[in-house]
Amino acid sequence: MVKLGFLGLGIMGSAMARNLLHAGFDLTVWNRDREKMAPLTEAGAKPAESPADVASTCDITIAMVSNPEASHAIAFGKDGVIEGLSQGKGYVEMSTIDPQTSHAIAKAVRAKDARYLEAPVSGSKKPAEDATLVLLAAGDHALYDEMKEAFEAIGKLTVYLGEVGQGSAMKLVVNMIMGGMMAAFCEGIALAQANHLAPEDLFAVLDAGATANPMFRLKGPMIEQEQFSPSFPLQHMQKDLRLALALGEICALPLPTIAAANAQFLRARGMGLETLDFSAVWKAIQTVKP
């Protein structure tokens, strides 16, 4: 079986790496905070000293980090992935990043006669734990074929979208829609409460009609109880909205609805809510007074 490396063991990465171990893959792991490696090495993964160490000793290296800056650093920094790559090896970028960063990494990977695939994932903590993520792949098709078994170990659906950049763009579109939905959902709850309507009644009505969806079903009770244990941190959603707006600007496409949603998430970050679940944008919307 192919030797896999995994870089980034946060909320998503740790669950994904564990599912790869459960599927029987030979797995080497690295994380900047080495304490996060311990549960996986205790479960059978091999520890590595650096991203370059992972890339040099594994057939295919996967990265799952928080933002484009982290992706760039892990690829191009001292002892980074690019240093460890050689002919025929594969690099799979599963982080949510902008197409420009993905293209830059792809160019550097190919300069080492290695192969590059982007495969950002749609889903949060529970889908990562349950191996029900949706993977949005683009890039080297042969590497995509080699990764199918690994993708099946962490997700329920993988879509191949073509050239590098298409997977990153699709992920930003998906998260842009999700962030806009969350802002509208919170505004709806606020308007319902202002008119003495119980949130649980609103949730029941939404769930019985065309607006029914798993996100409202999951996040509604979190908002009502104001318990925002992070499945998808608010700071990461705001980052994705920012990247989507930048992508829209490149395309000369105005996105006024998402610009308004992004302003609410920025306000929430200013309130110190960035590490909470992204549904905590409710706290920013709830406190807006006419």
Which residues carry out catalysis? 171
SS (H, E, C) 81-110: HHHHCCCCCEEEECCCCCHHHHHHHHHHHH
**C-alpha angle 134/7/266, rounded to 5°?**
65
Q: What are phi and psi of 245, to 5 degrees?
A: -65, -40
CA–CA separation, 259 and 12 (whole Å): 27
Please provide residue 275's backbone torsions phi and psi, each rounded to the nearest 5 degrees: -90, -5
Query: Residue holding tokens 């969350």?
Result: 182
| Residue located via tokens 């590059």 | 116
SS3 61: strand
In whole angstroms, what is the distance from residue 90 CA to residue 4 CA?
A: 9
| Beta-bridge partners for 134 | 122, 157
Q: What single string gives the DSSP state of each residue in 193-210?
A: HHTT--HHHHHHHHHHST
Q: From start to end of 94-200, where are the E strands? A: 115-118, 121-122, 133-139, 155-160
Q: Which residue in the block uniquely carries the two structure tokens 């030979």?
A: 26
Q: 217-228 in b/e burial notation, b at 16+ Cβ within 10 A?
A: eebbebbbeeeb
